[in-house]
């Protein structure tokens, strides 16, 4: 029997606020354990939460950008459970009345546009982190992350393959990045995802048994984990077996999912409205203000890249898949206005290098080996006829290793293209003199020899001669 | 009269006139504590050294005439659920037995800024859960009027300390009557402000949607002064309101002439002590004599208040008390694994009443029961609130008894929690509705025990109930009576 996968994703996006959601502590990543804490975020007796206005604004931004309805009077709720990294014994989250509901985003799936519905977007605080096996047989707790603001973005089970899931996540990540609400960094966990996967006989409209996969922190892991689950579940069902609703973890090394304790699913969180926080009332003016301030989103930017820069859809899509890339492209184009050539360099040579240096999944554009302006400069040198496209590859390689500007490299190494007729003529004469036999062959009608002779001249000039000039002069000499 | 017996406003005047220093006043209070607290046991912690230091500091400021705060140099006591930086705060629970907070509650910071001298931390029912101050993990407090009786609760320590002149005034917290009920038991004035009037930041939470800080004082003027000092918006408490704070102490006079005072018929029912009813009726007659118009009103959902309260308060408490898990501070039990550490720490750390309420609240919030209990209770709470809104359409304040009886005997109700819960029957609705209410003495029963009169106000209309209370107080002698005059 054929099985159809049904996938829904829950994404946690850490917000780019300076301070935590309910206190003034810093959200900076990588601080000394427990350095970014205060009585409020470590849940001392007597403390009270005060909602960070910026978090609400970011949630509104995300909701409006994904066509959600904004809940005019939403509530913060307590999710009660005990865990050492949860200082208050409850997490402040949203439950019955999330701030945003019923949105959608459009994704590209094999050339077609697919609409994926969003169930809800809600605000919540992050928990801390337990560190095991570092101190004898006890565990340590770092509460720096406790109270860091998150948006949880929940999709409807509208996705039908691992590819669709990845496409959805990339699109969503680009949106939150373009909005400036989340840096999208999966490695540091600021954009993380749980997947709900079930399979059902193809054509059925009933939902199968839902398996939740946690611990997914790269696109690769997501893709593999979902694909693994689809196959595993299909196999179980084909073999006449039954699936139980459970939470599974993705094991990166063994490339398989495995069951977490099943107790987890029986948890009763005893949600109720947090009495320390009044209902969150959002007036129409605020919504209008946030809407008016929404930046250009990936889809719009892609359209603009296609129209304004005359880029093909494929390049435009690649260049707008992340905000840092799109910004990089536009910065390079500002330095030198040949969008098509700049785009080719980015999508081709630069992406290859980023992949080699494993910088393609990271978000430190300042760590990229070539500054946008310098890439623009490189293309300008080609367009100005100062270097050939071929020499440009050499210059680019040198830019990577030395970090110097392309102009600098060209001057230092004397790579400037030679268009000066007299010096080229001298080289041509030398080549003709040294290749009497070939000249004879050419003259007797072997046209292919012309290419050989051009090559010899280029070689003699170290590749710097303007090929067009060489062509013209050589033809004239051989007449 | 000794210095310790002074009211806050009298003490302040005395200090201003240089008739005594804050150090002398503080020593008088400390001496009083030394003499009587062995019997009364109002305090959990007396900070003698700290109090003396603060008094010296206050004397310096007094001599420089730099502050006009009426609290400057005046020794006050705090219920031990107010966080005090560097001073042990236990909430009368073993689970916080050695907890020393790193920060001050907002109200404590306000008192310190006003130059008040903080003498110590008073006893309470553990986590403010109880109506007798017997449910303390450390010891029960005795009623200064009769050592065999409870001082009421949960702010029983603060009430007893004020009544016994072991401080000039005190602060308590009131979730279902915990300021007014012990004030009635101990013959003092207790004011529960409107929800949101005073910051809750730094108060160990019991039930967040009802907890409120308030003054416990020897007379009505003192309550006004103390409220003025602690009221106001606090950016650290999202439920505190942004409203200007009136000069309550200047709004006391003017009398009750022309005021419409509602008397809810549901508050005079079987079960209340006849002497309490008589005293309250006499007080109402006195107010009428002074020109108030007495209106017969109805608060039809009164009978649901106790049930609703015990759903909502316990639900919130079960969550608020989850942080006491032995992980970061307080008592931690030695156990084999994480789950046992949680269970055993809480098993050992919490007393029976606290456990009872955590279990009730956990049940009320659990899946499948939430709608039937918590949500239903919230709906009835809205009806109770609406009762008051409707009543206030025809009256300016409401007058009721504070308690159905006078102080009961120690041990008398500890075996029957439901009986104990009923002692807050007249005060609970006020917390559910978030209203301000004051309790002041209005007489004594045959045994010489004080009886409390409660005046309930419109939201944020503390000024009117203070005015009514002051008018009554000025016409009578009850508030001048001391336990030792009992005879």
φ/ψ (deg, to 5) at A317:
-65, -50
Question: Is residue A266 scored above 70 in pLDDT?
Answer: no
Q: State the Cα–Cα distance between residues A138 and B338, nearest whole angstrom.
A: 10
User: What are residue A428's phi and psi, to 5 degrees?
Assistant: -65, -45
What span, in angstroms and rounded, lies between the C-alpha atoms of A79 and A269? 5
Position A48 pLDDT exceeds 90: yes
The encoded tokens of residue B332 equal: 């931690």
Q: Which of A33, A41, A46 is best to mutate for the B interface (most B CBs within 10 A)?
A: A46
Q: Name the residue in chain A with its Cα closest to that of B83.
A: A46
Cα(A277)–Cα(A124) distance, rounded to whole angstroms?
A: 13
Which of A116-120, A181-185, A284-288, B352-356 has the least mean pLDDT? A181-185
Name B434's Cβ contacts closer than 8 Å, sequence gap at least 6. Answer: B194, B195, B196, B210, B385, B459
The rounded Cα A68 to chain-centroid distance in angstroms is 23
Residue A12 and residue A154 in contact, taking contact as beta carbons nearer than 8 Å? no
Phi, psi of B206 (to 5 degrees): -110, -75
Distance from CA of B239 to the nearest CA of A (A): 6
At A262, is the pLDDT very low, low, confident or very high (cuts 50, 70, 90)? low
CA distance A142 to A84: 10
**How close are the terminal C-alpha atoms of chain A, in Å?**
75
What is the share, in percent, of chain B residues with pLDDT greater than 70? 99
Cβ pair B95, B105 in contact under 8 A = no
pLDDT in tens, B112-125: 999 999 999 999 99
**What contacts B137, CB < 8 A, 6 or more positions away?**
B90, B92, B93, B94, B97, B126, B351
Q: Considering chain A, what percentage of its residues have pLDDT values greater than 70?
A: 97
**pLDDT exceeds cutoff 60 at A5:** yes
Cα–Cα distance, B281 to B275 (Å, whole number): 10
Q: What residues of B are labeled active site?
A: 79, 154, 178
Give me the helix-helix angle, B462-475 and B220-230, nearest 10°.
160
Distance CA A58, CA A52 (A): 10
- Tell me the nearest-neighbour CA distance from B421 into chain A, angstroms: 23
Distance in angstroms (rounded) separating the CA atoms of residues B333 and B312: 30
| A264 has pLDDT over 70 | no
User: What CA–CA distance (Å, rounded) separates B3 from A468?
Assistant: 109
Nearest CA in chain A to B327: A84
Q: Give the torsion through C-alpha atoms of A278, B304, B126, B133, to 10 deg.
A: 130
- Across the interface, whether the CB atoms of B338 and A84 are under 8 A apart is answered yes
**pLDDT over 70 at B378, yes or no:** yes
Q: Per-residue confidence at A363, pLDDT binned at 50, 70, 90? A: low
pLDDT in tens, A82-130: 999 999 999 999 999 999 999 999 998 888 899 999 999 999 999 999 9
Select the residue from B99, B314, B322, B379 to test the A interface by mutation, using most A Cβ atoms within 10 A: B322
pTM of the model: 0.90
pLDDT on residue A468: 79
The pairing of strands A90-93 and A138-142 is unpaired
Tokens of A372: 């946008």
Q: Region A173-198: what's the mean pLDDT?
A: 92
Mean pLDDT, residues B3-29: 97
Cα–Cα distance for residue pair A257/B7, rounded to 1 Å: 72
Chain B residues with CB-CB distance to A42 below 8 A:
328
CA distance B189 to chain A (A): 26
Interface predicted TM-score of the whole assembly (ipTM), two decimals: 0.95
Which residue matches tokens 């970014």? A36
Please tell me which residue of chain B has the smallest CA distance to A43: B323
Q: A53 by DSSP, 3-state: which?
A: helix
Spatial CA neighbour of A75 closest among A307, A350, A220, A276:
A276
On the question of pLDDT at B39 being above 60, the answer is: yes
* B252 vs B221: CA distance, rounded Å: 7
Highest mean pLDDT of the ranges A53-67, A181-195, A381-395 = A53-67
C-beta of residue B476 within 8 angstroms of C-beta of residue B442: yes
d(CA B386, CA B459): 12
Banded pLDDT at A450 (limits 50, 70, 90):
confident
Please indicate whether residue B182 or residue A217 has the higher confidence score (pLDDT): B182
Picking from A53-62, A275-284, A455-464, which range would have the lowest pLDDT averaged per residue? A455-464
Q: How many angstroms from the chain centroid is the CA of residue A269?
A: 34
**Tokens linked to A391:** 């020499």
Q: What would the DSSP string read from start to end of B170-225? A: EEEEESSSTTHHHHHHHTSEEEEPPTTTB--TTBPPS-TTT-EEEEEESSHHHHHH
pLDDT at res. A397 = 86
Question: DSSP label at A101?
Answer: E
> pLDDT digit string (tens) for B241-255?
999 999 999 999 999
Q: How many whole angstroms separate alpha carbon B18 and alpha carbon B9?
A: 14
Nearest Cα neighbor of A84 from A25, A142, A133, A124 is A142
Name the β-bridge partners of A382: none
- Cβ-Cβ contacts under 8 Å, B105 against chain A: 46
What 3-state DSSP class applies to A462?
Answer: coil
The per-residue pLDDT for A362 is: 64
Contact criterion met (CB < 8 Å) for B322 and A88:
yes
B89: CB partners within 8 A, 6+ apart? A45, B80, B81, B82, B83, B96, B99, B100, B101, B121, B204
Residue A466's pLDDT band (cuts 50, 70, 90): confident
- Prior bond of B38 cis (ω within 30°): no
SS3 B339: helix
Tokens for B67?
């502050």
- Rounded CA separation B288/B281 (Å): 10
Structure tokens at B100: 């020393």
Calculate mean pLDDT across residues A405-409: 86
């Amino acid at each position: 029997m054929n099985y159809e996968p049904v996938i829904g994703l829950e994404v946690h996006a850490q917000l780019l606020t300076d301070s935590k959601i309910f206190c003034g502590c810093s959200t900076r990543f990588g601080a000394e354990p427990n350095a970014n804490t205060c009585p409020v975020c470590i849940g001392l007796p007597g403390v009270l939460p005060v909602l960070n206005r910026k978090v609400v604004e970011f949630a509104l931004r995300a909701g409006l950008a994904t066509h959600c309805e904004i809940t005019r009077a939403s509530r913060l709720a307590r999710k009660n459970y005990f865990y050492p990294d949860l200082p208050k014994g409850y997490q402040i989250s949203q439950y019955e009345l999330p701030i945003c509901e019923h949105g959608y985003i459009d994704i590209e799936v094999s050339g077609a546009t697919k609409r994926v519905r969003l169930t809800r977007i809600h605000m919540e605080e992050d928990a801390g982190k337990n560190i095991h096996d570092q101190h004898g047989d006890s565990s340590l707790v770092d509460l720096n992350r406790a109270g860091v603001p998150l948006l949880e973005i929940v999709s409807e089970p509208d996705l039908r393959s691992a590819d669709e899931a990845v496409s959805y996540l990339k699109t969503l990540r680009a949106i939150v990045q373009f909005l400036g609400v989340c840096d999208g960094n999966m490695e540091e966990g600021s954009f993380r995802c749980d997947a709900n996967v079930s399979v059902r006989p193809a054509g059925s409209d009933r939902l199968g048994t839902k398996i939740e996969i946690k611990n997914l922190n790269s696109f690769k892991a997501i893709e593999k984990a979902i694909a693994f689950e689809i196959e595993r579940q299909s196999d179980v069902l084909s073999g006449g077996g039954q699936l139980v609703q459970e939470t599974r973890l993705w094991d990166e090394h063994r490339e398989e999912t495995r069951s977490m304790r099943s107790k987890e699913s029986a948890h009763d969180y005893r949600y109720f409205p947090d009495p320390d926080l009044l209902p969150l009332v959002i007036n129409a003016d605020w919504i209008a203000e946030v809407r008016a301030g929404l930046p250009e989103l990936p889809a719009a930017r892609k359209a603009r890249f296609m129209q304004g820069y005359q880029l093909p859809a494929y390049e435009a899509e690649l260049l707008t898949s992340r905000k840092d890339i799109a910004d990089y492209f536009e910065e390079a184009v500002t330095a030198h206005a040949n969008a098509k050539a700049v785009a080719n360099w980015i999508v081709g040579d630069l992406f290859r290098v980023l992949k080699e240096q494993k910088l393609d999944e990271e978000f430190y554009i300042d760590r990229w080996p070539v500054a946008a302006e310098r890439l623009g400069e490189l293309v300008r040198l080609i367009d100005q006829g100062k270097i050939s496209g071929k020499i440009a590859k050499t210059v680019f390689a040198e830019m990577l290793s030395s970090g110097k500007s392309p102009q600098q490299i060209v001057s230092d190494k004397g790579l400037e293209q030679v268009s000066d007729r007299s010096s080229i003529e001298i080289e041509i004469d030398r080549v003709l003199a040294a290749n009497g036999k070939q000249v004879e062959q050419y003259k007797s009608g072997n046209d292919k020899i012309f290419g050989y002779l051009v090559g010899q001249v280029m070689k003699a000039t170290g590749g710097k001669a303007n090929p067009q000039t060489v062509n013209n002069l050589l033809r004239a000499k051989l007449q | 009269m000794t210095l310790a017996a002074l009211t806050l406003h009298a003490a302040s005047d005395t200090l201003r006139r240089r008739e005594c220093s804050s150090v002398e006043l503080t020593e008088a209070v400390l001496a009083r504590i030394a003499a009587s607290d062995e019997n009364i046991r109002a305090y959990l912690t007396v900070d003698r050294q700290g109090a003396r230091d603060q008094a010296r500091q206050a004397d310096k400021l007094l001599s420089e005439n730099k502050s006009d705060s009426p609290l400057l140099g005046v020794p006050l006591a705090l219920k031990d659920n107010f966080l005090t930086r560097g001073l042990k705060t236990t909430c009368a629970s073993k689970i916080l037995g050695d907890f020393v907070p790193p920060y001050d509650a907002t109200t404590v910071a306000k008192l310190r800024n006003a130059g008040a001298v903080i003498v110590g931390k008073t006893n309470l029912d553990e986590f403010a859960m109880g109506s007798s101050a017997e449910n303390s993990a450390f010891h029960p407090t005795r009623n200064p009027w009769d050592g065999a009786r409870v001082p009421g609760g949960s702010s029983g320590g603060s009430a007893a300390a004020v009544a016994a002149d072991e401080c000039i005034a005190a602060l308590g917290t009131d979730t279902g009557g915990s300021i007014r009920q012990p004030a009635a038991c101990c013959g003092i004035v207790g004011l529960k402000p409107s929800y949101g009037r005073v910051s809750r930041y730094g108060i160990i939470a019991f039930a967040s949607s009802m907890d409120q800080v308030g003054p416990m004082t020897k007379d009505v003027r003192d309550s006004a002064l103390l409220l003025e000092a602690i009221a106001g918006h606090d950016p650290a408490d999202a439920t505190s309101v942004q409203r200007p704070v009136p000069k309550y102490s200047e709004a006391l006079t003017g009398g009750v002439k022309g005021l419409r005072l509602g008397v809810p018929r549901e508050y005079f029912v079987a079960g209340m002590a006849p002497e309490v009813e008589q005293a309250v009726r006499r007080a109402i007659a006195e107010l009428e004599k002074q020109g108030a118009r007495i209106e017969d009103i109805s608060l039809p959902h009164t009978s649901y208040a106790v049930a609703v309260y015990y759903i909502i308060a316990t639900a919130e408490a079960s969550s608020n008390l989850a942080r006491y898990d032995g992980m970061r501070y307080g008592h931690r039990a030695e156990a084999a694994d994480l789950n046992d550490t949680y269970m055993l720490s809480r098993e050992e750390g919490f007393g029976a009443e606290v456990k009872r309420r955590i279990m009730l609240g956990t049940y009320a919030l659990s899946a499948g029961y939430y709608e039937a209990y918590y949500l239903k209770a919230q709906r009835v709470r809205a009806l109770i609130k609406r009762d008051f809104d409707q009543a206030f359409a025809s009256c300016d304040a409401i007058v009721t008894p504070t308690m159905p009886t006078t102080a009961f005997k120690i041990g008398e109700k500890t075996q029957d929690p439901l009986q104990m819960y009923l002692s807050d029957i007249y005060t609970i609705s006020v917390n559910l509705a978030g209203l301000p209410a004051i309790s002041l003495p209005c007489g004594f029963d045959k045994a010489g025990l004080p009886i409390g009169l409660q005046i309930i106000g419109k939201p944020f209309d503390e000024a009117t109930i203070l005015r009514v209370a002051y008018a009554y107080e000025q016409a009578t002698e009850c508030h001048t009576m001391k336990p030792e005059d009992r005879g």
